[in-house]
Amino acid sequence: MTTTVVRAPAKINLGLSVGPLRDDGFHELATVYMALDLHDTVRVTSRDDEQVTVTVQADAQEGDEAVAVPLGPDNLAVRAVELLRGAAEVTNGVDLAIRKVIPVAGGMAGGSSDAAAALVGANHVWGLGWDREALAELAADLGSDVPFLLHGGVGIGTGRGEKISPVLSRGRYGFIVVVASEGLSTPSVYAEFDRLEPEPEAPRIAPELMSALRGHDTERLGEHLANDLEAAALSLRPELDRVLQIGLDAGALAGIVSGSGPTCVFLLEDDADAAMLTTALWAAPGCADVIHTHGPAAGARIVS
């Protein structure tokens, strides 16, 4: 029996430009992803029989989060290993033990990252030797952001977000993440986007965002953080507007809804600002947790 432990990073979208709805039900995107130090941990243990099991453990103070994670075949990490097993014609199963820290249904790709980590872990314990590119091809079938979570770092996502190209980025950035007590469903946020913006333009990434990342210009990065889903998330969850305002008043360089929300992310000018922001944001409406983290971080990686 072989066991491996894989780190599954959260992601934020520094820029998320949403274009027209396609015939397949997805929107054309141009996005800049960044993987964060904030991560789940996925322990993968091979089994002699062909069963795939999953358990989910959450931190004590976030105890009710695990309830929202499906434990059956609908779990994305289970679907990931089933997909790999079919493609590689493996007859063994695995036990997956997920330790959740990334907010569930929070717009930070926690479920997608667990799936990416499960692919990396199963590939290892089954001794398949597939490279990251081969895993990324499978990953796209699981969700639009799963390929990025295999790559990590900073990447541009196009298509529905699954086509990844690397970004030249220097240095590290500090962030404060505000977790909401109740998640938002991604499809409902996209549906609200369609209602508010029936004829969006073709998606594009601001060149200023790319040059800020190249030059490690934190202030400029803050000026060009952008999320086309923010108005839709705010329309469904009006109190997020107040959360963003509290963060800005407490000294954040910029604040943004992460992906489809409701998690809000604040860019720090300096890590010394973290304590004041954390205290202020704990009082924000609907706040369940405030986390200080950094990026970029590696993609799903074996840690032991």
Q: Which is nearer to ligand C5P, 57 or 185 (CB)?
A: 185
Among 4, 186, 258, 263, binds ligand C5P (CB under 6 A): 186
Other Cβ atoms less than 10 A from the Cβ of 275: the count is 10
Is 236 among the residues that bind ligand C5P (CB under 6 A)?
no
User: Residue 95 catalytic?
Assistant: no
Q: Catalytic pick from 114, 145, 228, 273?
A: 145
Backbone angles phi, psi at 274, to 5 degrees: -65, -40
Q: How far apart are CA 172 and CA 41, in angstroms?
A: 22
Q: Which is nearer to ligand C5P, 65 or 162 (CB)?
A: 162
Task: Please choose, out of 63-71, 89-97, 142-150, 197-205, the segment that lies near ligand C5P by the rule CB under 6 A.
Answer: 142-150
Task: Please choose, out of 42-50, 52-60, 137-145, 230-238, the segment that lies near ligand C5P by the rule CB under 6 A.
Answer: 137-145
Tokens 């692919």 -> residue: 119
Is 143 among the residues that bind ligand C5P (CB under 6 A)?
yes
Is 86 among the residues that bind ligand C5P (CB under 6 A)?
no
For residues 109, 60, 118 and 73, what is the CA-based torsion angle, rounded to 10 degrees? -90
Q: How far apart are CA 261 and CA 255, in angstroms?
A: 12
Which residue(s) pair with 27 in the sheet?
21
Backbone angles phi, psi at 231, to 5 degrees: -60, -40
**Is 58 within 8 Å of 97 (Cβ atoms)?**
no
Among 173, 175, 190, 266, binds ligand C5P (CB under 6 A): 190
User: Residue 145 catalytic?
Assistant: yes
Give the interface with ligand C5P as residue ranges (CB under 6 A). Answer: 26-27, 29, 143-145, 160-161, 186-187, 190
